[in-house]
Chains A and B, each alone.
Chain A
């Protein structure tokens, strides 16, 4: 009985302590949030002014380096990453100088080592957007086998960002199949860097990630002359990529009556085909484009889609 009493007393104590800790933490967060937001916005503004001054005046150094180091290198790193992510063809040299001067790279690597999971991926993502040295390229290799997929992808992005020449090699070494989410991110980065992309070489590669990147480039830039390369990927063995290829062919308004394409569509699972038909209707394909190779009931469905108000209005 006495033991039970003690157990209960301990339980009450532990629970009360937990409640106090959680309530205190929440209270602190609520109370400091407005101050933190104001402070971050102010540092951000000052830093942006400083960087723009470097760009427009041609000065070698950003003004007030100590101030930014003292006030938070994380905010500065975020600011640089955003700047690089929202501009095209920005001269990286001034930013490289600022990163070196403020020790941003070392700071971010410290954070990467300390954090786990999505937070680690976050700091790796920041690293992938700022100009980094060879050390980052080497260190990022350690995280290519992390448990979290986002960490692996961001580590690969750091390696791609370091070396423009060898970026495709870094992608080819990536062990996961890239998702459409990651593909969108890669295409965006290629566009921001303004580097030439030889999509035919990427299509010719046996690596699926490179092929998928080529698909993303073709879709993004509307390269209709890549039709033959796209059709070549269509096969039953890789239905996932093939479905993506079909959507891209439709987005490019290529003919779906080609033998390989028609055969693939007729062999698709009915529910996948229905989704494709809806996409084709949105892209403006006529009923005649499909007359040959789909079952009658699906053809009627397609006719109803094409005749629907959605294509006639708006």
Chain B
């Protein structure tokens, strides 16, 4: 019985090492690709504007958050903010005031009342014509996606949750990836590093009947792309950093202690934990780095 457990521990270790090596390799490949594409300016200035992205944002936190999400150089991009004016009246009014938004008439084919939509707002200022505010009852939040997708202008939808920020030039990176394939052939793009990102083809969302029903496995292999790059990031949280630090300290101390007493299988398990936590910390650190570097680099290098 004892040796069965030991073999199990060894197999888990081999799997953990394999997983870490694969992820590190993929992430480094992703970085090399990003470096290559950072010197490719053509897609921003000279590509036909067929491919566009509509970012749909829920649970917006502040006006500053909207400004950050609007700060994208690629022209075929828009931001649809979905919020309930009654649950956050102050923030709603602040957004209306800050962007000088006015209520506009919009009569899509589907009855809006069924989706809980109270109104649409657009800015009077030309500089903010990429922003749309959708006032929707919170009880219809599960249907927010549908309402927002109907409002969106472009063929790819990027849902963004409240606290999430976009890494600089993330949209441009997605556009570069999409424009490597024939128009409309890609249905889903995901980035599995860090906070997961999912970019949906609008027609596929409508066909499946919502974001949540669009399972990764249900889509053809040629119609989906996986990126090993961080495109979203969460503002660094002190609690998470402390938790990761504590995990590493406990695992190191535990590994020494068990090694001292000759409990090899336990040492091995703790080293596995250390390896996986280290991988998590590494991925978090490269995302924070890329976010802070942003556009400081010369000549727009990413």
Contacts and interface: CB of A to CB of B under 8 A. Distances in A.
Contacts of B109: 300-301, 304
Given A122-B32, A309-B120, A4 B6 contact: yes
Given A185-B43, A278-B153, A304-B108, 9 more contacts: A12-B259, A12-B264, A19-B275, A81-B39, A86-B299, A244-B183, A274-B203, A312-B104, A314-B123
Contact of A8 (B36, B51, B108, B264): B264
B32 A251 contact: no
19 contacts: A4-B3, A4-B6, A11-B268, A15-B272, A16-B271, A19-B275, A22-B20, A81-B39, A119-B32, A181-B47, A187-B46, A188-B41, A188-B42, A216-B48, A244-B50, A251-B48, A279-B50, A309-B120, A313-B129
For the complex of A and B, the 4 pairs showing the least CB-CB separation, nearest first, are: A314-B129, A309-B104, A8-B264, A184-B47
A8 B272 contact: no
B182 interface: yes
B42 A179 contact: no
B141 interface: no
Interface residues of A, number: 72
Nearest to B259: A12
Interface string A219-256: 11000000000000000000010011001100100000
Given A41-B298, A125-B36, A184 B268 contact: no
B183 A240 contact: yes
Contacts of A179: 179-182
Given A180-B48, A181-B180, A314-B122, A122 B36 contact: yes
| Interface size classification for chain B | 35 or more
Contacts of B249: none
A18 B48 contact: no
Interface of A: 1, 4-5, 7-9, 11-12, 14-16, 18-19, 22-23, 26, 30, 33, 41, 44, 78, 81-82, 85-86, 117-119, 121-122, 125-126, 149-150, 179-189, 191, 216, 219-220, 240, 243-244, 247-248, 251, 271-272, 274-275, 278-279, 282, 300-301, 304, 307-310, 312-314
B203 A118 contact: no
B203 A9 contact: no
Which of B35, B50, B282: most chain A Cβ within 10 A? Answer: B50
